[in-house]
Structure 1
Amino acid sequence: MNVVQSIGAALTPQGLIWTVILFGIAVFLHELAHYALARAQGVSVRSFSIGMGPVLLKRQWKGTEWRVSALPLGGYVEIDGMAPEDDGQGRARQPTRGFAALPAWGKVAVLLAGPLMNLVLGIGLMTASFSAQGIPALDRARIEDVQAGSRAQTLGLQAGDVIVAIDGRDLPETRVVGGREAPGYEGVRDALAQPGPHTFTVERSGTPRDVRFDWQPSVGGERQRLGIRYGPDVQPAGIGTALSTALSTTAQAGPQVLRSFAALFGQFFTFDLSPDENVSGPIGTAEIVSRAAELGPWALVQIATLLNLSLAFFNLLPIPGLDGGRILLVLVGALRGRPLSFAQEQAINFAGFAFLMTLIAFVWLRDVARFF
């Protein structure tokens, strides 16, 4: 299979459309939050663009030029007083009005609004998913399907059975595999990689029973399959439980997301193009969305949740050019009792922007390198 065929096998037109929609909504609401907090403090916003690059459509409304731009991924707002001013002689100077005239807390509020919007949206989507679908119990593996004529059917396993223990040991919530955390229910796969006798403790209609069998992962060089499809068990939840679980899940996800970004930076500085399933580029993201689109609307909701949480955490990183980097500069100025000089701030922001553009190019390159 050549490169084009390989990409085509994973991407679908429906998936590409949903990628643009999900990412577009996340970015639009992010920028809308910046816009709202600036306007609430009396700061004008010159333009608000959905998309990047050349402007396709524009309309003036409430003192802001609202734009639709050619590149569908991304967006921006031009807040008065955030970019350098023209001194009248063709030279840039430190702005003195609008955003620049706000107190430190006002600036932080404008900058923090975008990531907080994505964070709130991600938690809200997760709460809706848990409330509608239930909360996954990672320490219990529910058998979703048993293949006809398989070893599993011979052993008497049925769809709806819940595996709660393997070889006398309860399944953990999470386990460490290859240096990363993995759901405990995937321990079923680990057990089937080991030859010998096994015992699955299975709950059926609330009654436990032991299923004992001898197992060989391969016979004559051919991989053996038990013949089950499984996933985490799901417990029903009300709104309150769904919200509290969403909050705790987000708190737990934060460090994991940051470790993923740290690994990405490590790969960037060593120019390691090996794929990383924890951080996807645009092609990888479109592939994931394509698969989710085939599974149904709740799978897309889960992808939207992850996308918004990732945007929130990434934008809060203290890197110049990101909201977190700008917040850091504001706080440094507040601690010094005066803002950084125009030259200092320009140099820092330029370096941060150059780093981000290089990092984005690296992610694109790593994404494409997977197909070779």
Structure 2
Amino acid sequence: MNTVIAIVIILGALIFFHELGHLLLAKRAGILCREFAIGFGPKIFAFKKGETVYTIRLLPLGGFVRMAGEDPEGIELKPGQRIGLIFNEKNEAVKLIVNHKDKYPVQKMITVEKADLDHDLFVEGYEDQDAPLVRYSVKEDAVYVADHQEMQIAPYDRQFGSKTIMQRVLAIFAGPLANFLLAFVILVAFSLMQGIPSNESRLGELAKGEAAQKAGLQENDKIVSVEGQNVSSWKELVTVIQDNPGETLSFNVVRSGEPKKVDVKLGEREGADGKPEGFIGAHPYTEFSILGSLEYGAKQTWFMTKAIFTGIGQLVTGQHGIDQLSGPLGIYDYTDKAAKAGVYMLLQWAAILSINLGIFNLLPLPALDGGRLLFLGFEALRGKPVDPQKEGLVHFIGFAFLMLLMLVVTWNDIHKIFLS
């Protein structure tokens, strides 16, 4: 149950901040954002604030911000339609009711002759067969009502396509950027809680019952030399220890300004290469500093980003196979292990997931943010947008490919977790 809660919190936060990035930059550009959704499928919770409906949906596999003009919206007034109108005190139409008018106390009924809800914002028509043509202004945030469903109209200057290429690029790129910023904040918080590992040859927390504690070494001891070999950094100290598994070595230390000599019988374990390596059960010394934590957060975010891009490069070049990828089951399994290891490991795992989500969305694949940025790049080069129907078809094919990839990586997860 703890793992489920951890996954809900972590994935919910990653998706929330990703979509929040899209929402904030889209609103800043003046784009009408119809919905901010966490998850896909049927709505299980919704409320409206301002122009935007905020929803939580059944399938927690992502989210979206529905911006006006990105997809066909079905708002259209055709000649010959009989519609009801409701006006404000300035005699501007604020509601246009296409059918089921009995729900509303309409003030006028007209048969549409001509309408423009994109640019000039008006509707013309006849109240009855023999009446003269009348024209009414439509308020820029008027509501279109059809089948009891209300939708705010979106004049062209509130639509996604009306904005400059740079404004649209920023609105799309803001989602992945939010994930990188979230990872940075998580890592800064981690270092403020846990401390920043120092590269000094100084001992931090000691593991109970392991070689360092048994020999009498103490936290904050500075190791000057081992078996007469000078060590000035944590890396040098670790190298000497790992090279002498099971041996008893003489440590020259400085404790509270006083030199001491301590003999330590090293532990022995299997290293990453399968060969035995020595260890003493000591963590590096940690320091607490706000500026240091900011630097640590930035460096670790950059390090993790480079490592993930390296992995993608190895996947593309064939150095690693697709079986190395993980999907929802793999994320669950890793989160379970991180949750059992404690809150600090869980924070680091959340940062890694956030960077992964940001990078994955920037890949130049249809249906992802990177694919949309690619189409905007084509538009910038061509001087005109790609045909919306063709772009929509490409994104649909890309989405189908991603679903197929999801099935493949899920099978990988099943094989690695349950069948291996």
TM-score, structure 1 normalization:
0.73
Q: Report what 1:234 is aligned to.
A: 286
The structure-2 alpha-carbon separation of the partners of 1:132 and 1:151, relative to structure 1 and needing over 3 Å to count, comes to: closer
> Is 2:376 the partner of 1:325?
no
Q: CA deviation at 1:112?
A: 1.1
Q: Report what 2:170 is aligned to.
A: 109
What is the one-letter code of the residue matched to 2:13? I
Is residue 202–residue 208 contact of structure 1 (8 Å, CA) maintained in 2?
yes
Is residue 143–residue 228 contact of structure 1 (8 Å, CA) maintained in 2?
no
Q: How much is the aligned-residue C-alpha RMSD, in angstroms?
A: 3.8
The structure-2 alpha-carbon separation of the partners of 1:264 and 1:228, relative to structure 1 and needing over 3 Å to count, comes to: same
Is residue 139–residue 164 contact of structure 1 (8 Å, CA) maintained in 2?
no
Q: CA deviation at 1:34?
A: 1.1
Aligned mates of 1:134, 1:301 — CA distance in 2: 13
> Is 2:2 the partner of 1:14?
yes
Higher helix share: 1
> Is 2:51 the partner of 1:63?
yes
Greater gyration radius: 2
What is the one-letter code of the residue matched to 2:44? L
Q: Report what 1:91 is aligned to.
A: none
Aligned mates of 1:189, 1:282 — CA distance in 2: 39
SS of the equivalent of 1:354 reads helix
> Is 2:24 the partner of 1:36?
yes
Q: CA deviation at 1:33?
A: 1.9
Q: CA deviation at 1:110?
A: 0.7
Is residue 152–residue 226 contact of structure 1 (8 Å, CA) maintained in 2?
no
Q: Report what 1:285 is aligned to.
A: 331
Q: Report what 1:178 is aligned to.
A: none
Q: Report what 2:381 is aligned to.
A: 335
Q: Report what 2:194 is aligned to.
A: 133
Q: CA deviation at 1:104?
A: 0.3
SS of the equivalent of 1:66 reads strand
Q: Deviations over 1:158-185 (max 9, x none)?
A: 45546677673758788xxxxxxxxx88
The structure-2 alpha-carbon separation of the partners of 1:140 and 1:362, relative to structure 1 and needing over 3 Å to count, comes to: farther
What is the one-letter code of the residue matched to 2:398? G
The structure-2 alpha-carbon separation of the partners of 1:268 and 1:140, relative to structure 1 and needing over 3 Å to count, comes to: same
Aligned mates of 1:62, 1:357 — CA distance in 2: 34
Q: Report what 1:23 is aligned to.
A: 11
Aligned mates of 1:246, 1:142 — CA distance in 2: 22
Is residue 147–residue 228 contact of structure 1 (8 Å, CA) maintained in 2?
no
> Is 2:206 the partner of 1:145?
yes
Q: More relative contact order in 1 or in 2 (CA 8 Å, sep 6+)?
A: 1
The structure-2 alpha-carbon separation of the partners of 1:107 and 1:151, relative to structure 1 and needing over 3 Å to count, comes to: closer
Q: Report what 2:411 is aligned to.
A: 365
Q: Report what 1:179 is aligned to.
A: none
Is residue 34–residue 53 contact of structure 2 (8 Å, CA) maintained in 1?
yes
What is the one-letter code of the residue matched to 2:6? W
Aligned 1:1-372 pairs, distance under 5 A: 13-84=1-72, 97=156, 98-137=159-198, 140=201, 142=203, 144-148=205-209, 152=212, 155-159=215-219, 161=221, 168=229, 170=231, 187=239, 190-192=242-244, 204-205=255-256, 217=268, 228-237=280-289, 239-264=290-315, 270-271=321-322, 273=323, 276=324, 280-371=326-417, 372=419
Aligned mates of 1:348, 1:50 — CA distance in 2: 24
The structure-2 alpha-carbon separation of the partners of 1:217 and 1:132, relative to structure 1 and needing over 3 Å to count, comes to: closer
Is residue 20–residue 73 contact of structure 1 (8 Å, CA) maintained in 2?
no
Aligned mates of 2:12, 2:296 — CA distance in 1: 27
The structure-2 alpha-carbon separation of the partners of 1:173 and 1:228, relative to structure 1 and needing over 3 Å to count, comes to: closer
SS of the equivalent of 1:42 reads coil
SS of the equivalent of 1:370 reads helix
Is residue 134–residue 234 contact of structure 1 (8 Å, CA) maintained in 2?
yes
